[in-house]
Amino acid sequence: MGNSFGKIFTVTTWGESHGLALGVVIDGCPAGLAVSVEAIQRALDARRPGYSALTSNRQEADTVQVLSGLYNGVTLGTPLALQVLNQDARAEDYEALKDVYRPSHADYTYEAKFGLRDPRGGGRASARETVARVAAGAVASQLLAHYGVSVLAYVEAVGVIRMPKAMGPITPEAIAKNPLRCPHPETAQEMERYILTLKERGDSAGGVIACCINGVPAGWGEPVFDRLEADLAKAMLSIPSTKGFEIGSGFAGTELLGSEHNDPFVFQDGQVRTTKNHSGGIQGGISNGAPIGFRVAFKPVASIAQEQSTVKRDGSPVALSISGRHDPCVLPRAVPIVEAMAALVLADHALRAKGSERPLHTSNTVALRVVCKGLAQTGNMANADGNEELGLRSCPGQV
């Protein structure tokens, strides 16, 4: 079934948007890992609704409860179960929608597959389900820290409003300075004005989240069907509202010649490196030690207050205006979800890689590093060698 993810570090999520609770069971997490419940809570706080005017006004504390698998703050190697209670569910808000197929929602398709559906906020199809993923991702991130791996995502674009191409390294502090989670303050202000205007009109916006992963050594990934970028793509496209994924140079790289796109190898400071990173840190489905950079496209939120045409279950037409508590743009709250899913993929591949039986504190001493200062936003940007490069903007900690 489609509710589990991963081969060794495996997660199974459960729960519905307006049920009693949501949760996750993590199996395969090594014994002896010190897990900070506070770190899990911080990740959930970043995802929870109601923290600004840009999000749904549903008020959920999203307080995590550890049900099993942890003793004195250390994993036992047994299934780790985490739970979050729904405290502000309002099933009655959806009573009038139980026979209506909301445009671009999963109402019709869930009914077509299962023969019935939970109309309360979309049930399992709701983005509320991702609270369990974020909790699991926070555990995976703590495992990855022992490998020196860090994951950082941010809002790069909302609608046609996009961050400028020329920027220095992006830090967690810069991302956290505004509710948009866009590290460029001026762009963030423009995005916020745009979203609030759409909210007043009863409309919504989509956009792009960029993610950069540092510290992954060469050798992670399992060709041919479990290529690292393939698993990242699947993870990202499993997030509600996602419509696109690109890694490294992405679609813009198709406009280059092979002589322009190739990433030359050099040997520097006793290590194999590349002078560019159009590959996005992965070649042949295996990490090459360079920063991994990708983007995820999110569609505009489907629940809007503007009147739309649709049909009921019996086929009769109806004019629908969706009221209630909905995000005018999912991008700000999707940032921790993207980070969580990336962490889950990497934790699984870390344990699948050769030598994964090494102690948690063992460090990798040989890694590929990118020489150029950074990966630029899709478009042209001069790299350290004066060449022009496509890809993601600079990753924190990149050398």
pLDDT, one tens digit per residue, over 310-349 is 999 999 999 988 776 678 999 999 999 999 999 999 999 9
Name the percent of the chain lying above pLDDT 70: 85
Tens digits of per-residue pLDDT, 147-191? 999 999 999 999 999 999 877 789 999 999 999 999 999 999 999
User: Looking at residues 297-308, what average pLDDT do you find?
Assistant: 92
DSSP sequence for 68-88: ESEETTEE-SS-EEEEEE--S
| Count of alpha carbons within 13 angstroms of residue 167, beta-carbon side | 25
Judge whether residue 108 has pLDDT over 80. Answer: yes
Structure tokens at 207: 């956009």
* CB contact at 8 A, 172 and 212: no
**Contacts (Cβ under 8 Å, ≥6 apart) of 303:** 102, 105, 204, 322, 324, 326
Q: Is this prediction's pTM over 0.75?
A: yes
Q: What is the fold, at CATH topology level, of the domain defined by 4-370?
A: Chorismate synthase, AroC fold (3.60.150)
Q: Are strands 271-274 and 369-370 parallel, antiparallel or unpaired?
A: parallel
Task: Kindly indicate the confidence band of residue 397, based on its pLDDT and cuts at 50, 70 and 90.
Answer: very low
| Count of alpha carbons within 13 angstroms of residue 301, beta-carbon side | 28
| Count of alpha carbons within 13 angstroms of residue 191, beta-carbon side | 31
Judge whether residue 370 has pLDDT over 70. Answer: no
Task: Kindly indicate the confidence band of residue 1, based on its pLDDT and cuts at 50, 70 and 90.
Answer: confident
Q: Which of 58-72, 111-125, 186-200 has the lowest mean pLDDT?
A: 111-125
- What CA–CA distance (Å, rounded) separates 73 from 67? 13
Judge whether residue 374 has pLDDT over 60. Answer: no
Q: Are strands 161-162 and 4-5 parallel, antiparallel or unpaired?
A: unpaired
Structure tokens at 334: 């999707």
Among residues 308, 263, 301, the alpha carbon closest in space to that of 281 is found at 263
**Contacts (Cβ under 8 Å, ≥6 apart) of 267:** 273
Judge whether residue 368 has pLDDT over 60. Answer: no
User: Looking at residues 76-105, what average pLDDT do you find?
Assistant: 85
Task: Kindly indicate the confidence band of residue 93, based on its pLDDT and cuts at 50, 70 and 90.
Answer: low
How does DSSP classify residue 165?
S
